[in-house]
Structure 1
Amino acid sequence: MANRVETTLTQELLPLLQRDRFVTVATVDHETGGPNISAISWVYAPNEKTIRFAIDNRSRVIENVQNNDRLALELIGNESTYSITGRAKVAVNTLEDVPLKLAMVEVIVEEVRDVMFYGSRISAEPKYEKTYDKEAADKLDQQVMEAIK
Protein backbone atom coordinates (compact mmCIF):
# COMPACT_ATOMS: atom_id res chain seq x y z
CA MET A 1 0.00 0.00 0.00
CA ALA A 2 3.06 2.29 -0.07
CA ASN A 3 2.37 5.85 -1.21
CA ARG A 4 -1.34 5.19 -1.71
CA VAL A 5 -4.14 7.00 0.00
CA GLU A 6 -7.35 5.06 0.47
CA THR A 7 -10.76 6.22 1.70
CA THR A 8 -11.59 2.88 3.33
CA LEU A 9 -9.78 0.05 5.07
CA THR A 10 -8.28 -2.32 2.53
CA GLN A 11 -8.98 -6.05 2.47
CA GLU A 12 -5.49 -6.56 3.96
CA LEU A 13 -6.11 -4.18 6.88
CA LEU A 14 -9.72 -5.04 7.74
CA PRO A 15 -8.92 -8.42 9.40
CA LEU A 16 -6.17 -6.77 11.47
CA LEU A 17 -8.84 -4.64 13.12
CA GLN A 18 -11.19 -7.49 13.89
CA ARG A 19 -9.39 -8.74 16.98
CA ASP A 20 -7.78 -7.47 20.15
CA ARG A 21 -4.61 -5.63 19.07
CA PHE A 22 -2.28 -2.79 20.01
CA VAL A 23 -3.35 0.49 18.37
CA THR A 24 -2.70 4.11 19.29
CA VAL A 25 -5.38 6.78 19.05
CA ALA A 26 -4.63 10.49 18.67
CA THR A 27 -7.20 13.14 19.54
CA VAL A 28 -7.19 16.91 19.90
CA ASP A 29 -6.88 17.75 23.60
CA HIS A 30 -9.96 19.63 24.78
CA GLU A 31 -7.95 21.86 27.13
CA THR A 32 -4.69 22.58 25.32
CA GLY A 33 -5.69 22.13 21.67
CA GLY A 34 -2.56 20.00 21.28
CA PRO A 35 -2.24 16.31 20.48
CA ASN A 36 -3.25 13.60 22.94
CA ILE A 37 -2.20 10.00 22.31
CA SER A 38 -3.51 6.89 24.04
CA ALA A 39 -2.82 3.18 23.58
CA ILE A 40 -5.86 0.93 23.18
CA SER A 41 -6.44 -2.76 22.47
CA TRP A 42 -10.20 -3.34 22.33
CA VAL A 43 -10.75 -2.42 18.70
CA TYR A 44 -13.08 -3.85 16.06
CA ALA A 45 -13.86 -2.88 12.46
CA PRO A 46 -17.26 -4.28 11.40
CA ASN A 47 -16.66 -3.07 7.84
CA GLU A 48 -14.19 -1.07 5.73
CA LYS A 49 -15.67 2.34 6.73
CA THR A 50 -16.19 1.86 10.47
CA ILE A 51 -13.89 1.24 13.44
CA ARG A 52 -15.15 0.85 16.99
CA PHE A 53 -13.11 0.81 20.15
CA ALA A 54 -13.83 0.50 23.86
CA ILE A 55 -12.16 2.75 26.39
CA ASP A 56 -12.70 3.69 30.03
CA ASN A 57 -15.58 6.15 30.03
CA ARG A 58 -13.54 8.51 32.23
CA SER A 59 -10.69 8.60 29.70
CA ARG A 60 -9.52 11.93 28.34
CA VAL A 61 -10.23 10.53 24.86
CA ILE A 62 -13.98 10.70 25.56
CA GLU A 63 -14.04 14.41 26.39
CA ASN A 64 -11.65 15.14 23.53
CA VAL A 65 -13.92 13.40 21.00
CA GLN A 66 -16.98 15.18 22.40
CA ASN A 67 -15.23 18.54 21.83
CA ASN A 68 -13.55 17.75 18.50
CA ASP A 69 -14.55 14.72 16.46
CA ARG A 70 -11.29 14.53 14.46
CA LEU A 71 -9.26 11.45 15.35
CA ALA A 72 -6.35 9.38 14.04
CA LEU A 73 -5.53 5.75 14.73
CA GLU A 74 -2.08 4.29 14.21
CA LEU A 75 -2.01 0.66 13.17
CA ILE A 76 1.18 -1.36 12.84
CA GLY A 77 0.67 -4.47 10.75
CA ASN A 78 0.98 -5.99 7.30
CA GLU A 79 4.72 -5.10 7.49
CA SER A 80 3.99 -1.36 7.65
CA THR A 81 2.54 1.50 9.70
CA TYR A 82 -0.79 3.08 8.84
CA SER A 83 -2.48 6.32 9.79
CA ILE A 84 -6.26 6.01 9.75
CA THR A 85 -8.13 9.29 10.14
CA GLY A 86 -11.80 10.01 10.47
CA ARG A 87 -14.63 11.47 12.48
CA ALA A 88 -15.47 9.95 15.83
CA LYS A 89 -18.41 9.95 18.19
CA VAL A 90 -19.13 8.36 21.53
CA ALA A 91 -21.71 5.82 20.35
CA VAL A 92 -22.33 4.21 23.76
CA ASN A 93 -21.56 5.87 27.09
CA THR A 94 -21.49 2.62 29.10
CA LEU A 95 -21.28 -0.82 27.51
CA GLU A 96 -23.80 -3.35 28.80
CA ASP A 97 -22.75 -6.78 30.10
CA VAL A 98 -19.18 -5.59 30.77
CA PRO A 99 -17.98 -5.32 34.39
CA LEU A 100 -15.93 -2.16 33.74
CA LYS A 101 -17.35 1.27 32.93
CA LEU A 102 -16.33 1.39 29.29
CA ALA A 103 -17.59 3.62 26.49
CA MET A 104 -17.65 2.71 22.81
CA VAL A 105 -16.27 5.19 20.32
CA GLU A 106 -17.19 4.77 16.68
CA VAL A 107 -14.99 6.18 13.93
CA ILE A 108 -16.09 6.77 10.35
CA VAL A 109 -12.94 6.23 8.26
CA GLU A 110 -12.08 9.07 5.89
CA GLU A 111 -8.47 8.32 4.96
CA VAL A 112 -5.97 5.48 5.26
CA ARG A 113 -2.30 6.21 4.58
CA ASP A 114 0.75 4.00 4.64
CA VAL A 115 3.15 6.20 6.63
CA MET A 116 6.14 3.88 6.88
CA PHE A 117 9.41 5.61 6.08
CA TYR A 118 11.00 4.87 2.72
CA GLY A 119 12.92 1.66 2.15
CA SER A 120 11.79 -0.18 5.25
CA ARG A 121 9.22 -2.60 6.60
CA ILE A 122 8.04 -3.74 10.01
CA SER A 123 9.80 -7.00 10.81
CA ALA A 124 8.02 -7.65 14.12
CA GLU A 125 4.67 -6.25 15.22
CA PRO A 126 4.24 -4.84 18.73
CA LYS A 127 3.40 -7.48 21.32
CA TYR A 128 1.94 -6.96 24.76
CA GLU A 129 0.63 -9.11 27.55
CA LYS A 130 -2.07 -8.55 30.12
CA THR A 131 -0.45 -8.33 33.55
CA TYR A 132 -3.44 -9.42 35.58
CA ASP A 133 -5.11 -12.81 35.98
CA LYS A 134 -5.02 -14.55 32.57
CA GLU A 135 -8.43 -16.16 32.95
CA ALA A 136 -10.03 -12.89 34.04
CA ALA A 137 -8.31 -11.02 31.19
CA ASP A 138 -9.55 -13.51 28.60
CA LYS A 139 -13.11 -13.32 29.95
CA LEU A 140 -13.07 -9.52 29.98
CA ASP A 141 -11.61 -9.36 26.46
CA GLN A 142 -14.40 -11.64 25.20
CA GLN A 143 -17.11 -9.57 26.93
CA VAL A 144 -15.76 -6.28 25.55
CA MET A 145 -15.26 -7.52 22.01
CA GLU A 146 -18.80 -8.96 21.94
CA ALA A 147 -20.16 -5.62 23.19
CA ILE A 148 -18.44 -3.54 20.49
CA LYS A 149 -19.33 -5.88 17.62
Structure 2
Amino acid sequence: MANQVEPGLIPVLFEELQSERFVTLSTVDHETGGPNVNAVSWILAKDEETVLFTVNQKSKIVENIRENPLAVINLIANESTYSIAGKTEISQVQLEGVPLKLTLIKMEIDEVRDVMFYGSRISAEPAYEKTYDKTAAERLDRQVIEAMKKA
Protein backbone atom coordinates (compact mmCIF):
# COMPACT_ATOMS: atom_id res chain seq x y z
CA MET A 1 0.00 0.00 0.00
CA ALA A 2 3.02 2.31 -0.31
CA ASN A 3 2.63 5.83 -1.69
CA GLN A 4 -1.13 6.02 -1.16
CA VAL A 5 -2.32 9.64 -0.79
CA GLU A 6 -5.46 10.73 1.08
CA PRO A 7 -6.96 14.22 1.63
CA GLY A 8 -7.37 13.54 5.37
CA LEU A 9 -6.86 10.95 8.08
CA ILE A 10 -8.09 7.47 7.31
CA PRO A 11 -10.12 5.93 10.18
CA VAL A 12 -7.24 3.86 11.62
CA LEU A 13 -4.96 6.93 11.77
CA PHE A 14 -7.71 9.05 13.32
CA GLU A 15 -8.05 6.41 16.07
CA GLU A 16 -4.27 6.26 16.58
CA LEU A 17 -4.28 10.03 17.20
CA GLN A 18 -6.88 9.95 19.96
CA SER A 19 -4.28 9.70 22.71
CA GLU A 20 -0.73 10.74 23.41
CA ARG A 21 1.84 9.10 21.15
CA PHE A 22 5.28 9.57 19.62
CA VAL A 23 5.45 11.49 16.33
CA THR A 24 8.02 13.72 14.73
CA LEU A 25 7.16 17.20 13.52
CA SER A 26 9.01 18.95 10.71
CA THR A 27 8.82 22.72 10.38
CA VAL A 28 10.77 25.32 8.42
CA ASP A 29 13.51 26.81 10.61
CA HIS A 30 12.81 30.54 10.94
CA GLU A 31 16.54 31.35 11.12
CA THR A 32 18.06 29.14 8.42
CA GLY A 33 15.11 28.36 6.13
CA GLY A 34 16.08 24.68 6.38
CA PRO A 35 14.21 21.77 7.91
CA ASN A 36 13.75 21.48 11.67
CA VAL A 37 12.60 18.17 13.17
CA ASN A 38 11.32 17.61 16.72
CA ALA A 39 9.74 14.76 18.63
CA VAL A 40 6.25 15.54 19.96
CA SER A 41 3.93 13.44 22.10
CA TRP A 42 0.93 15.64 22.97
CA ILE A 43 -1.04 15.26 19.76
CA LEU A 44 -4.74 14.76 19.08
CA ALA A 45 -6.84 14.37 15.93
CA LYS A 46 -9.83 16.69 16.33
CA ASP A 47 -11.41 15.30 13.16
CA GLU A 48 -10.22 13.76 9.88
CA GLU A 49 -8.98 17.15 8.60
CA THR A 50 -7.55 18.69 11.80
CA VAL A 51 -4.74 17.73 14.16
CA LEU A 52 -3.90 19.57 17.39
CA PHE A 53 -0.55 19.40 19.15
CA THR A 54 0.96 21.12 22.14
CA VAL A 55 4.53 22.27 22.74
CA ASN A 56 6.37 24.38 25.29
CA GLN A 57 5.80 28.11 24.68
CA LYS A 58 9.56 28.62 24.37
CA SER A 59 9.99 25.85 21.79
CA LYS A 60 11.57 26.83 18.48
CA ILE A 61 8.53 25.18 16.87
CA VAL A 62 6.33 28.13 17.92
CA GLU A 63 8.51 30.75 16.19
CA ASN A 64 8.97 28.52 13.15
CA ILE A 65 5.19 28.25 12.72
CA ARG A 66 4.71 31.99 13.18
CA GLU A 67 7.15 32.58 10.31
CA ASN A 68 6.03 29.73 8.03
CA PRO A 69 2.85 27.73 8.70
CA LEU A 70 3.79 24.68 6.60
CA ALA A 71 4.57 21.54 8.60
CA VAL A 72 4.68 17.77 8.34
CA ILE A 73 3.88 15.23 11.05
CA ASN A 74 5.54 11.84 10.66
CA LEU A 75 3.46 9.04 12.19
CA ILE A 76 4.41 5.38 12.44
CA ALA A 77 1.21 3.35 12.76
CA ASN A 78 -0.87 0.69 11.02
CA GLU A 79 2.34 -1.20 10.03
CA SER A 80 3.47 1.78 7.93
CA THR A 81 4.88 5.30 8.02
CA TYR A 82 2.73 8.32 7.20
CA SER A 83 3.47 11.91 6.28
CA ILE A 84 0.67 14.26 7.39
CA ALA A 85 1.22 17.62 5.70
CA GLY A 86 -0.67 20.83 6.23
CA LYS A 87 -0.84 24.42 7.35
CA THR A 88 -0.53 25.23 11.03
CA GLU A 89 -1.56 28.12 13.21
CA ILE A 90 -1.23 29.08 16.84
CA SER A 91 -4.62 28.21 18.33
CA GLN A 92 -3.91 29.19 21.97
CA VAL A 93 -0.72 30.98 23.01
CA GLN A 94 -1.18 29.38 26.43
CA LEU A 95 -3.21 26.19 26.64
CA GLU A 96 -5.89 26.72 29.25
CA GLY A 97 -6.29 24.31 32.16
CA VAL A 98 -2.72 23.03 32.49
CA PRO A 99 0.01 24.07 34.94
CA LEU A 100 2.76 24.39 32.29
CA LYS A 101 3.22 27.19 29.76
CA LEU A 102 2.18 25.28 26.64
CA THR A 103 1.10 26.54 23.23
CA LEU A 104 -1.69 24.79 21.33
CA ILE A 105 -1.12 24.51 17.58
CA LYS A 106 -3.72 23.49 15.02
CA MET A 107 -2.89 21.85 11.70
CA GLU A 108 -5.36 21.83 8.82
CA ILE A 109 -4.41 18.72 6.85
CA ASP A 110 -3.69 19.06 3.13
CA GLU A 111 -2.68 15.45 2.52
CA VAL A 112 -1.83 12.20 4.23
CA ARG A 113 0.71 10.12 2.38
CA ASP A 114 1.84 6.56 3.06
CA VAL A 115 5.62 6.99 2.70
CA MET A 116 6.77 3.47 3.58
CA PHE A 117 9.24 2.06 1.08
CA TYR A 118 7.99 -0.65 -1.26
CA GLY A 119 7.72 -4.23 -0.08
CA SER A 120 8.00 -3.59 3.64
CA ARG A 121 6.00 -3.00 6.78
CA ILE A 122 6.71 -1.73 10.29
CA SER A 123 6.98 -4.74 12.60
CA ALA A 124 7.36 -2.77 15.87
CA GLU A 125 6.22 0.78 16.54
CA PRO A 126 8.41 3.20 18.52
CA ALA A 127 7.89 3.16 22.26
CA TYR A 128 9.01 5.61 24.90
CA GLU A 129 8.69 6.12 28.62
CA LYS A 130 8.68 9.22 30.78
CA THR A 131 11.85 9.50 32.86
CA TYR A 132 10.40 11.71 35.59
CA ASP A 133 7.84 10.96 38.32
CA LYS A 134 5.44 8.45 36.72
CA THR A 135 2.39 9.63 38.68
CA ALA A 136 3.07 13.29 37.90
CA ALA A 137 3.64 12.45 34.23
CA GLU A 138 0.35 10.55 33.96
CA ARG A 139 -1.54 13.39 35.68
CA LEU A 140 0.01 16.02 33.40
CA ASP A 141 -0.64 13.94 30.28
CA ARG A 142 -4.32 13.60 31.23
CA GLN A 143 -4.61 17.35 31.90
CA VAL A 144 -3.02 18.25 28.57
CA ILE A 145 -5.08 15.83 26.48
CA GLU A 146 -8.31 16.89 28.22
CA ALA A 147 -7.49 20.58 27.65
CA MET A 148 -6.79 19.82 23.99
CA LYS A 149 -10.13 18.03 23.64
CA LYS A 150 -11.94 21.08 25.04
CA ALA A 151 -10.14 23.50 22.70
TM-score, length-normalised on structure 1?
0.98
In structure 1, what residue type is equivalent to 2:89? Answer: K
Extract structure 1 runs of 4+ deviating beyond 2 A.
none
* Aligned-partner Cα distance in 2 for 1:3–1:29: 27
Aligned to 1:65: 65
Q: Deviations over 1:69-118 (max 9, x none)?
A: 00000000000000000000010000122111000000000010000011
In structure 2, what residue type is equivalent to 1:66? Answer: R
Aligned to 1:130: 130
* Aligned-partner Cα distance in 2 for 1:63–1:86: 17
How many residue pairs end up in the alignment? 149
Aligned to 1:8: 8
Kindly report which structure 2 residues correspond to 1:111-130, keeping only aligned pairs within 5 A, or say none. 111-130=111-130
- Is the 2:2–2:117 Cα contact (8 Å) retained in structure 1? no
What SS does structure 1 have at the residue aligned with 2:12? Answer: coil
- Is the 2:74–2:83 Cα contact (8 Å) retained in structure 1? yes
Kindly report which structure 2 residues correspond to 1:1-149, keeping only aligned pairs within 5 A, or say none. 1-149=1-149
What SS does structure 2 have at the residue aligned with 1:12? Answer: helix
Identity of aligned residues (%): 56
TM-score, length-normalised on structure 2?
0.97
What SS does structure 2 have at the residue aligned with 1:13? Answer: helix
Measure how far apart 1:46 and its partner are. 1.3
Q: Greater shift after overlay, 92-101 or 79-88?
A: 92-101
Please report the RMSD computed on the Cα atoms of aligned residues, expressed in angstroms: 0.7
What SS does structure 1 have at the residue aligned with 2:8? Answer: coil
Q: Deviations over 1:41-83 (max 9, x none)?
A: 0000010000000100110000000000000000000000000
What SS does structure 2 have at the residue aligned with 1:20? Answer: coil
* Aligned-partner Cα distance in 2 for 1:78–1:4: 13
Measure how far apart 1:2 and its partner are. 2.6
